[in-house]
Amino acid sequence: MVQGTLEKLAEIRRGDLSAVENVSSLLEKIKKLDRKINSFIEINPNALTEAEAVDRKIKKGERAGKLAGLAIGIKSNINVAGLRATCASRTLQDYVSPYDAEVIRRIRGEDGIIIGMNNMDEFACGSSGESSAFGPTDNPAAPGHIPGGSSSGSAAAIAAGLCDICLGSDTGGSIRNPASHCGIVGLKPTYGLVPRQGLIDLGMSLDQIGPLSADVSGTVVMLETIAGRSDNECIMLNVDKVSYSEKLQNDDLKGLRVGVSEKFAELTDPAIIKVIDRGIEKLRELGAEIVAIDLPNLERGLYAYYLIVSVEFFSGTRKFDGRKYGKKIEEVCGEEVLRRIMRGRYISQKEYRGKFYQRALQVRTLIKRELMAAFEKVDVIAGPTVPKLPHRIGSKLTPMEMYAYDYLTVPANLAGICAGVIKAGEISGIPVGLQIQGRVLGELEVLKVMKALEATE
C-alpha cells in the first residue's frame, strides 16, 4: 500500500524520515522516470538545501510546519523566485521569476520544499497536456494516453509518485480534468478563496489555484496552507483561513443530500456513466440521500466559457509584446494559444462585443442561477468529470473535439463554486474520476464526500 500524506508527515516530524531523505529519493525517482513522463520543466537546484533547513528545525525541537519536508511540484504558470515560470511557452522560456507568488510564500512558511516546476499546456490553453513547447506529458496511469490538461505535469507527477503534492490552476477544469485521467485527487477551490497573486492569468475571472495529490489528506493539508485572504489582492472572499482536518474524521454521510442530473448522461460516454453510477451508489450506501436535480442549460456553458476566456486571455497577453518578457507571444506561440488570441481580439472589437461577449456573460449568469437553485435542494452535486476517455497522445482532434473535454467542468468556474475529483474506477485500465461540486465555500462537504469514498477503496 502506498504511504499516505499524513503518515509521511508524521514520520518526518518524528525524525524517522528526514526531509533530505524524502527529497533525495524523489529527485532520484524523477531522474529515473521523468525522461519518459516529462512532467517537470525544471528542478529546483536548492531543494536539498531547503530540506536540510527543515531537518535542522525539527532537530532543534522547533515547530514544524503543516508541510514539513514534503516535496511540492508547482505548475509552470506560478511564480517561484529563482525558477522559470515559462507557462510551457517559448514566449517565457527564459523568464526567471523575481518573486514568490503568495501561495508559494505560504508553502515555504509551512516548511514545504519546492522540488520543481511542472509541465503544462502552453499558457494553460489545452485539455490534453500535448501543447507544451517542451513536449507532451505522458499519463503514468495509462501510458500512451494524454494525462489531461492544462495541469498535465502536476497530475502526472503525482500519479507517478514523483512528488508529494502539486499545485495546479483551474480555469475551466485544468485541475479536475487531469486528476480524473490520472486517477488522483484534485480540487478547484471556490473563486476568491486562494490568492491568485503571482499566477500568470489565463482568464482572471475564472482562474483558481488548487492542489493535486495522491490522497484526500494531501489535498486538505495543502488547501489549509494556501487558502485565506491576502492583503495584496482585492478580489478575495472574507475568509482568513480554513480548517477541515478535524471535521473529516467521520466517514458517515447520513443526511447529506447529493444531487444528480440526467444532463450528465446526455453528454457523457455510457461506459463512463456506468462507473459514475457505481460511485453514486456507494454514496447511497454510506447514508447519503440521492436527489434528482435539473440543469437544463449545462452544455451552453462550454460555448460561453470559450468566448469569455478568449477575451480575458487576449487582454492578459498584451503585455507579452517582446519588450520585457522575452519574445512576442504571437510570433512564437502554438496553434491553440494563437487561436484564442485571435478569437479574443475579434470578439473584443466594439461591433462584436454585444453579439458575442455580452451574450456569453448572460449565459454565465444563467448557469450560475441554475447551480444556485440546485444547491437549495442539495449539499453537493455528483457526476462525471470528463465526458470521454483520454485519447492517445498524438491523435488528431479538431478544436471542438478538444474543447468537448470541458463540458462538465466549466460550469463550476463560470459559477465560482468549488469542485473536487476522486477516482471512481477504471475502464480498460484507464482511470475515471467522480466530480463532486459544492456551493460557494462548500469545500468541507466536497472533501467529506471524497474522504468517505476514499475510505471504501
What gap in Å lies between CA 263 and CA 55, rounded to an integer?
A: 52
Geometric angle at alpha carbon 411, from 287 and 200, rounded to 5°: 120
Q: Please report where in the chains the cell 447551480 appears, as a residue.
A: 371
Catalytic residue among 18, 127, 128, 174: 174
User: Across the strands, what pairs with 307?
Assistant: none
Q: Homologous superfamily of 5-455 in CATH?
A: Amidase signature (AS) domain (3.90.1300.10)
Residue 294 has pLDDT above 80, yes or no: yes
* C-alpha span between 250 and 136 (Å, rounded): 40
Mean pLDDT of the chain: 97
Where in the chain are the domains? Answer: 5-455
pLDDT computed for residue 326 by the predictor: 78
Whether 150 is catalytic is yes
At 252-288, the pLDDT tens digits run 899 999 999 999 999 999 999 999 999 999 999 999 9
Q: What share of the chain is helix, strand, coil (3-state, %, to 5)?
A: 45, 15, 40
Question: How do residues 431-454 score in pLDDT, each as one tens digit?
Answer: 999 999 999 999 999 999 999 999
What pLDDT does 355 receive? 85
- The helix (run of H) or strand (run of E) holding residue 434 is strand 430-438
Catalytic, out of 89, 97, 131, 150? 150
Q: Write the CB contacts of 325 (distance below 8 Å, at least 6 apart in sequence).
A: 91, 92, 95, 319
Non-local CB neighbours of 138 within 8 Å, separated by 6+ positions:
36, 37, 38, 144, 147, 156, 393
Instruction: Give the HSE-up count for residue 147: Cα atoms under 13 Å, Cβ half-sphere.
Output: 36
Query: Quick one: pLDDT at residue 129?
Result: 98
Distance, C-alpha 86 to centroid of its chain: 18
Give residue for cell 492578459: 316
pLDDT, average across residues 70-75: 99
Give me the mean pLDDT over the 320-324 stretch: 89
* 174 among known catalytic residues: yes
For residue 232, the model assigns a pLDDT of 87
Task: Choose the catalytic residue: 75, 263, 423, 448.
Answer: 75
pTM score, whole prediction:
0.97
Looking at residue 2, its pLDDT comes to 58
**How buried is 161 (Cβ within 10 angstroms: 0-12 exposed, 13-18 middle, 19+ buried)?**
middle
- Catalytic, 261? Answer no
Give the model's confidence band at 1: pLDDT under 50 very low, under 70 low, under 90 confident, else very high: very low
